[in-house]
Amino acid sequence: MDEEAAPFLDSCRRIGPDVEFGRARYYPLSHEGRSILLVRSGIGLVNAASAATTAIAASEPRAVLSAGSAGGLRQDVEVGDLAVGDSYTFTDADATAFGYERGQVPGMPVDYAPHGGLLDAARRLVPEDGTHHVGQMLAGGSFVTQSNVKDTREAFPHAVTTDMETTAIAQVCTSHHVPFLSVRGVSDLCGPAADQDFHMSVEIVARRSADAVLAVIRATDGVPA
């Protein structure tokens, strides 16, 4: 969303005109001497996969990082927390009738892994301390809400967050052998307890996500080890 792209535009210098292609907008940026292509994909798996494919074909990036907001799933997650994905799975893919695992698209892996160097950098920069979580991230074509969160939690008991883009981008990056990592801020709780706040402004969590992503880029110097 525009709100999720805004922190990058505020922190980086534009080095060329932005381009709109399909549903996505592409911003050539520079941050501390490093070139970054910011992609605002639009919401949803297809928009995300399409934008990621175009960006990879056009720019041959050293790595792709997914930033923005997500819904919190695990009971210890609170709004405002930061999540780093150590695996990525589709929430609502279900071909179990044919022997596949829940979340697995037929013919594809059960889940997708981040690049080890990027994940290690994120672990050092955003340690798990109760407000930062490292774990499984989900993505699907439906919002997970109070009405359907029970099924999602039962199927993926260790999942930290869910959104509508991350796993699609991870699949594209895996197919093209491009290092990937997702770092997202929790803006909503999919099934909050009675004493939990359930919503925080997207602008706030997007800033936290963007700051963490830029820190990972800085730590790896844009080239995963």
**What type of residue is 198?**
F
Catalytic sites, residue numbers = 4, 188
Partners of 88 in the beta sheet?
Answer: 112, 137
- CA dihedral (221, 134, 104, 40) positive or negative: negative
57 sits in the region (left: phi over 0; alpha: psi -120 to 50; else beta) called alpha
Q: Where are the beta strands (DSSP E) in the chain?
A: 13-14, 19-21, 24-31, 34-40, 64-72, 82-90, 132-139, 159-163, 180-189
Q: Is 113 helix (H, G, I), strand (E, B) or coil?
A: coil
Partners of 188 in the beta sheet?
Answer: 71, 199
Q: How far apart are CA 27 and CA 19, in angstroms?
A: 7
Ranges of H-type helices in 60-201: 116-125, 149-155, 166-175
